[in-house]
Copies of this chain bind each other. A is one copy, B any other.
């Protein structure tokens, strides 16, 4: 595709991408936009210019605080909105080309949480991450629990504290059991950590009692975001048996503002790891269900001197999104548009591809060196953690932008 819109070579937001998000400016209330190059295209203006006349949709889906109403139109409509924009951006006599209001520089907008999240589920689907954690906390010889290769293990997280990239995070306080003690103390967490994850957003509702087959699972996925599942390892260690992580996780999660559609990711399908033992029938899949998405994590103390501390890839996931969604609904649990399902920490095989400080510092035994000469075992106050992700193949690039947040001292 050749567009008349000026897009720099390394942009995440190419003509092949067209991700959706919610933005505002000092003069415009929250509304739906797409990212293109360094700009945001205001879809309310695109609507007013008549671009979506053939679709029989209401302007109100674009003048909204969240993408939920837009997503609820269904893929048959939202895909057409995306391809119409692509076509207009490649048509020399497009009305967009002469519209002064349609494009706003990304520096001039504020981005917001793209969806109203009903329920948030976090999986634990990287075999490298689960193995690393099992080796540290349980038995190095039997790092994976017996159920791990049979079910994409997951749990429910807190939706209220999921924030858009750029919102800062207060260091959580909590109960911690110090070594050789039997009673806990209450203090600011000394082991705040990131988890490099990706999330997918549910695009289609189901009813209670219904299950989604693995063949149809992708029909229920609108698109993907970068996700930082902030964790407090010392709080987690004391609280998580037997009902799982709670206050160690629910103080904050950060997500990127642009939702990249499944259609934009189509060229980047790859095969996943061999699953042995064979999974049960309802989790068996065919075709390419993993995606080659380059990921990296950076730490910037005081927002300066970014250091890459991890380079990973979404293609490493043992359990793919279709399996996660089929599992989630296999018991009849219902889904709503805007629900979020996150991957769990995405670690690779090599030590420089681990997706958390827990793994990079191996439980605090090692240090991670930063470019400014400092060392880190976990995340310190005023550190900014940045995650970036992009796909690249045959000169087509589709990126996610970034999710970033700075850790502030406890309130």
Contacts and interface: CB of A to CB of B under 8 A. Distances in A.
B242 A173 contact: no
A208 interface: yes
A251 B331 contact: yes
A407 to B, nearest CB: 11
A150 B119 contact: no
Interface in A199-246: 208-211, 232, 235, 238-246
A331 B249 CA distance: 9
A210 B156 contact: no
A247 interface: yes
A44 to B, nearest CB: 26
Contacts of A185: 280
Nearest to A138: B242
A158 B245 CA distance: 15
A163 B208 contact: yes
Contact of A156 (B156, B240, B280, B330): B156
A154 interface: yes
B208 A170 contact: yes
Interface stretch (A64-72, A285-293, A334-342, A354-362): A334-342
A250 interface: yes
Contacts of A247: 327-328, 330-331, 333
Contact of A232 (B118, B239, B331): B331
Most buried by B among A163, A184, A208, A277: A208
B243 A153 contact: yes
Given A210-B411, A252-B208, A333-B158, A124 B277 contact: no
B160 A332 contact: no
A159 interface: yes
Contact of A243 (B124, B159, B238, B335): B124
Contact of A331 (B119, B160, B172): B172
A281 interface: yes
A282 interface: yes
Contacts of A177: 146-147
A294 B173 CA distance: 36
Contacts of A153: 239, 242-243, 246
A174 interface: yes
B250 A156 contact: yes
A254 to B, nearest CB: 11
Nearest to A237: B147
22 contacts: A118-B160, A119-B158, A119-B159, A146-B177, A146-B182, A151-B184, A151-B238, A160-B336, A161-B334, A163-B208, A170-B208, A173-B330, A183-B277, A208-B251, A208-B252, A209-B411, A210-B411, A235-B331, A243-B244, A244-B245, A247-B327, A332-B411
What 5 pairs between A and B have smallest CB-CB spacing? A244-B244, A170-B209, A172-B331, A156-B156, A155-B243
Given A147-B184, A153-B239, 14 more contacts: A146-B177, A146-B182, A155-B244, A156-B158, A170-B332, A172-B331, A172-B332, A186-B281, A208-B251, A208-B252, A240-B242, A241-B242, A244-B244, A252-B332
